[in-house]
Amino acid sequence: MNETTDKKTEGSATGQGCNCDWALAFLLLRGWLGLRALLSGLEKYGAYKSIQQPLLDPTTGQPDASGAMIDVKVKFYALANYSGVPAGLKSKFANEALLPNFALNIFDHILGPVFILTGIMLLVGLGTRASLMVQGLLYIALTAGLVLINQPDGIAYLGIHLGLVAMALMLVKYNKLALLKKW
């Protein structure tokens, strides 16, 4: 038996002979990370507004005879709503001496668009390695900010995301459905 045959047999015995499982695992991970980034970026453009609607009678489904109205919050998306960093966190970051104000402003402006861009890139398989790397760097930057304002729950949450990005980078060699496989 020659060395090539030994490697083929060994690969088959350990399940490495069929890369389709690894390719499917990467595709699922790529899809999840892409969708997560895309929706996170889009949520930066969301806001709620209150509208008044008539109170409905639960038995008939018709508006209440007294004319009572209730406030209902409705979510809507618009460019004017954009906020990369939530308002509650902006004030905490503004008081942090180790975080320069110009860095916070830049990060606030680019966070949503970069998440949207990298999410779309992952979903269509365009520059998969580059988009994963950018997402990993974003999660590291977000983690640094949360460490500075002492938000341990968010830090752990971002650590999980970073682990998923790292796993995707390890599996990227099994990227089958991609427009640019090299990047």
Contacts of 49 (CB under 8 A, 6+ apart): 73, 74, 76
pLDDT tens by residue, 124-180: 999 999 999 999 999 999 999 999 998 888 999 999 999 999 999 999 988 887 777
pLDDT tens by residue, 24-38: 999 999 999 999 999
Q: In the 8-state DSSP scheme, what is residue 174?
A: G
Query: What are the residues facing 63 on neighbouring strands?
Result: 56
> Which amino acid does the sequence have at 12?
S
Angle at 111 between CA 110 and CA 117, to 5 degrees: 85
Residue spans of the domains in the chain: they are 18-45+82-183, 46-81
Q: Give the per-residue pLDDT at 7.
A: 47
Decide: 54 and 16 in contact? Cβ < 8 Å. no
